Amino acid sequence: MSNHVLAINDLRTVFETHAGPIKAVDGVSLTVERGQVLGLVGESGSGKSVTGYSILGLVDAPGKVADGNILFKGEDLRNATPQRLRRIRGKEIAMIFQDPMMTLNPVLRIDTQMIEAVQAHTTSVSRTEALERAEEALAEVGIPSPKERLYSYPHELSGGMRQRVAIATAFINKPDLIIADEPTTALDVTIQSQILSVAQKMCETHGTAMIWITHDLGVVAGLADKIAVMYCGRLVEMGTADQIITDPRHPYTHGLLKSVPGTHKEGERLYQIPGMTPSILALGEECAYSARCSKRSAKCAHAPKREVVFDRYLRCHNPMGTTHD
């Protein structure tokens, strides 16, 4: 048995619509090692969040996981009963969401919302004990006077504080894996870096593995051990953070990195990838990125199967840095 906490193999999640099936996640395979942080990067609609939800069986109808395996510590979550999945959620795999304004129930106090996370999994824990654990967890994510904050309502806290509460809640049962769905997107920049370092610290202290979903390569650059890049429901490139950031091979990754403002001379126009994300509905055999790709060739009419080039996962016929780049 390897050291994988999570091994996803050929995951396909499909949304049945009137216009036809939408392959939101189309054959994604990835692994997360114990204590490792995987950055899952892509634009809006690339299927990165749906991948996260698929793991926990939280995809909303009409979407459903159509194919593939989700092996969590060797157990295939696709075959798990709803009861078993419920036991895993929050206990072994926890989630943090994008908008801290929306993830805490506005009419319930913080203590209620944290205690229930403990008691949902261990009914033998008394209220007092659960409260103590909640207080500890809040202190750990850097919330001042955690005891008083426990009796606050969400609207009495700032966005950054709420996200800390969400992180504390996610960590309260010491899960093996945390899926963080763009947890810093809705926060302003100074708070973003605080939340990042809190999450990083928590993962290190508890040896928790994490999937950090984001559209911002800059965010994961310093945080992730491994980065996976998604485009139109497909994984296009995956490698160590170093490989992806300093030496991107897929033209899309390359374009993404070039689009990060800050690497430009002052006054120079910001770079944008030409064209628009294609409709997933209309996608066929071709490489989804081919319409926007500068290195497109005739071969691109058929997207390559997975390829491992230079010890990384890459799905491209004409990778950067090989031909005439």
Q: How many CA atoms lie within 13 A of 12 on its CB side?
A: 11
Each residue 239-268 as x (binds other proteins by CB under 8 A) or -, in order, gives: ------------------------------
* Phi, psi dihedrals of residue 29, rounded to the nearest 5°: -125, 130
Are 78 and 70 spatial neighbours (Cβ–Cβ below 8 Å)?
Answer: yes
The CB density around residue 133, as the number of other CB atoms within 10 Å, is 19
In the complex, minimum distance from the CB of residue 168 to other proteins, in angstroms, rounded to a whole number: 12
Among 97, 231, 252, 289, binds other proteins (CB under 8 A): 97
Are 162 and 20 spatial neighbours (Cβ–Cβ below 8 Å)?
Answer: no
Name which of 36 and 113 has its Cβ closer to other proteins. Answer: 113
In the complex, minimum distance from the CB of residue 52 to other proteins, in angstroms, rounded to a whole number: 10
CA distances from 268 to 191, 217, 294 (A): 29, 21, 21
Of the candidates 95, 114, 123, 108, the one whose C-alpha atom is nearest the C-alpha of residue 172 is 114
Name which of 120 and 283 has its Cβ closer to other proteins. Answer: 120
List b or e across 262-295, with b for residues whose CB sees 16 or more CB atoms inside 10 angstroms.
eeeeeeeeeeebeeebbebeebeeebbbbebbeb
Each residue 29-68 as x (binds other proteins by CB under 8 A) or -, in order, gives: ---------------------------x-x----------
Amino acid letter for position 251: P
- Tokens 């990778």 belong to which residue? 319
Among 18, 44, 81, 106, binds other proteins (CB under 8 A): 106
Are 41 and 227 spatial neighbours (Cβ–Cβ below 8 Å)?
Answer: yes
Of the candidates 96, 226, 224, 119, the one whose C-alpha atom is nearest the C-alpha of residue 171 is 96
The CA distance from 181 to 191, in Å, is 16
The partner residues of 211 in beta bridges, in order of sequence, read 38, 179
The CA distance from 34 to 82, in Å, is 25
Q: Per rule CB under 8 A, is residue 80 in the interface with other proteins? A: no
Among 112, 194, 200, 240, binds other proteins (CB under 8 A): 112
Site for other proteins in 132-161 (CB under 8 A): 153, 155-156
Among 94, 134, 241, 273, binds other proteins (CB under 8 A): 94
In the complex, minimum distance from the CB of residue 252 to other proteins, in angstroms, rounded to a whole number: 29
Q: Per rule CB under 8 A, is residue 273 in the interface with other proteins? A: no
Q: Per rule CB under 8 A, is residue 95 in the interface with other proteins? A: yes
In the complex, minimum distance from the CB of residue 114 to other proteins, in angstroms, rounded to a whole number: 9
Q: Per rule CB under 8 A, is residue 70 in the interface with other proteins? A: no
Among 91, 226, 234, 254, binds other proteins (CB under 8 A): 91
Amino acid letter for position 155: H
Q: Per rule CB under 8 A, is residue 291 in the interface with other proteins? A: no
What 8-state DSSP symbol labels residue 153?
-
Residues touching other proteins: how many (CB under 8 A)?
Answer: 31
Among 64, 73, 78, 86, binds other proteins (CB under 8 A): 86
Name which of 141 and 300 has its Cβ closer to other proteins. Answer: 141
Among 24, 134, 138, 166, binds other proteins (CB under 8 A): 166
Residues that bind other proteins (CB under 8 A): 56, 58, 86-91, 94-95, 97-99, 102-109, 112, 116-117, 120-121, 153, 155-156, 166, 169
